[in-house]
Structure 1
Amino acid sequence: MKAFPASLLALLLAATTMLPGTASARSSDRNKPMDIEAGYSDYSMDDSRPTVLTGGVTITQGTLDIRANRADITQRNGEAVRAVLTGGPVRLNQQLDDGKPMDAVATKVDYDLRNEVVVFTGDVNISQPSGSISGQRIVYNMRTGQVQGGGEGAGRVKMRIMPRNGGASADPEPASDGDEG
C-alpha cells in the first residue's frame, strides 16, 4: 500500500481546531506511526488514479482516530493532493495539546492539500470543551484561518461558545415559567 504523508491527517485534524479559544491538535501525534485498516483497498503504483479504501476505514495516529466508510486519496508526483473521506458518518476524534478532546462528525470531509482548504459537509458537528459549530457545510481555509459556514443552499450555522471560566455546562438550562416554587 502507498504511504500517506503523516502531515495529511495532521493538517486535516488541525482544521477541526477552528473554534475560538481552542488549542492545537496534539502535535506529538505527527511523530507517531500511522495505522490504516480497511476491508478493501484499490490503488495503482503510479498516480494514474486515486487510492480507494472501503469497508470500515480506520486511521489512527497517536491520539488521532478517524472512522469512515470510504477514503479516496489522490496523489500527484507521489504526494497526496486531496483526501475525501465519506461515511455514515465520518468521525474524527483527537486529544488536543491541552489534553482536551475534540470530536468532529460529517457525512463528507474533503481536504484539498494544495490549497489547504477543508470542506465538511452533511450534518457537520465539530465540538470541544470550548465550544461547537454545526451546520450542513463548514469550510476552513488553513492558510488564512477563515471559517465559512452555511450560505445559499447550505442551511444555517449554529455555534456555541463556552465561557472561559468553565462555570456553565454545555447543556442549556431549561426555560423557566417564572415560578420558583
Structure 2
Amino acid sequence: MKACFSYANLLFILIMSLTVISPDSWALTSDLKQPVKIDASSVTFNKAKGYAIYEGGVSIVQGTLKIKASKIEIFAPNNAINKIIATGSPVTFEQKMDDGKWAKGKANSVRYLIKEKKIALAGNATLTQDKDTFSSSYIQYSTKTGELKAGNAKGKDANKKSTGRVRAIFYPANN
C-alpha cells in the first residue's frame, strides 16, 4: 500500500527532531523534496474519527529517511494531527544528515505529541549519530526547548526490568 500525504511528512519532522546528539547537524535538506512512500500489510483510515493506522511490516521512505515499525498510528481529529505512535520490536529509523553523517535510532515505541512538542522513545531506546551513541530505557526530547530527559519511564511503555541507567558515548570531533 502506498500513500503520499501530510501525515507522513510529519514523521520526517519527527526524525529531524531526534538528531539531538549533534544539534548543528540537520537531516538532508533534499529529502523534503522527495516523495513519501508508505508500505504496509494493511491500513485503516477513519476520516470522521480522525485516524489512520498502518499495520504489518510498515516501511516509510522519503529520500534517505527510512522508518520501519510493526504499527504506526496517526491521530488527527478535526484534520489536525496531534499524535503519532509507532510500535515495533523495535521501531527503527535512519537518515543521512547534511554533514554526511547518518543518524539512526531504535526503540520499542516512539510517540510524537504535536501540541506538547515532545518525542518519547520507550523501551531499549538508542540514538546514534556517526559513532556517538545515547541509550536508555526511556528518552524524551522537547522540540520546543531542546531539553532531553532520559532514564526509567513511569508510563505504560516503561521496561519494568530496566535499571533506568543512561549511557552515552561521545567521540572527539575530527578536525
TM-score (norm 1): 0.84
Contact kept, 8 Å, 1:35 with 1:61, in 2: the verdict is yes
What's the secondary structure of 2:46's corresponding residue?
coil
Query: What are the equivalent positions in structure 2 for 1:105-116 lying under 5 Å apart?
Result: 105-116=106-117
Match of 1:23 in 2: 25
Match of 1:178 in 2: none
Amino acid at match of 2:167: K
In the alignment, the residues of structure 1 paired with residue 40 and residue 150 of structure 2 have an alpha-carbon distance, to the nearest angstrom, of 31
Q: Tell whether 2:65 aligns with 1:56.
A: no
Contact kept, 8 Å, 1:20 with 1:131, in 2: the verdict is no
Where does the alignment leave 5 or more consecutive residues of structure 2 unmatched? 159-163
In the alignment, the residues of structure 2 paired with residue 71 and residue 34 of structure 1 have an alpha-carbon distance, to the nearest angstrom, of 15
Match of 2:72 in 1: 71
Match of 2:174 in 1: 165
1:25-54 per-residue CA deviation (whole Å, 9 max, x = no partner) reads 1122112110111001111133x1521110
Amino acid at match of 1:160: I
In the alignment, the residues of structure 2 paired with residue 93 and residue 18 of structure 1 have an alpha-carbon distance, to the nearest angstrom, of 14
In the alignment, the residues of structure 1 paired with residue 43 and residue 29 of structure 2 have an alpha-carbon distance, to the nearest angstrom, of 28
1:97-123 per-residue CA deviation (whole Å, 9 max, x = no partner) reads 111111101000000122211000000
When Rg is computed on C-alpha atoms for both structures, the one with the higher figure is 1
Match of 2:161 in 1: none
Query: What are the equivalent positions in structure 2 for 1:1-181 lying under 5 Å apart?
Result: 3-5=5-7, 7-20=9-22, 22-46=24-48, 48-129=49-130, 131-151=132-152, 155-165=164-174
What's the secondary structure of 2:121's corresponding residue?
strand
In the alignment, the residues of structure 1 paired with residue 82 and residue 98 of structure 2 have an alpha-carbon distance, to the nearest angstrom, of 26
In the alignment, the residues of structure 2 paired with residue 129 and residue 22 of structure 1 have an alpha-carbon distance, to the nearest angstrom, of 14
Amino acid at match of 1:28: S
Where does the alignment leave 5 or more consecutive residues of structure 1 unmatched? 167-181
Aligned residues between the structures? 165
What's the secondary structure of 1:43's corresponding residue?
strand
How far the C-alpha of 1:6 sits from its partner, in A, is 5.0
Specify whether residues 53 and 61 from structure 1 end up closer, same or farther in structure 2 by C-alpha distance, changes over 3 A only.
same
TM-score (norm 2): 0.86
CA RMSD of aligned residues (A): 1.9
Contact kept, 8 Å, 1:71 with 1:86, in 2: the verdict is yes
Specify whether residues 148 and 7 from structure 1 end up closer, same or farther in structure 2 by C-alpha distance, changes over 3 A only.
same
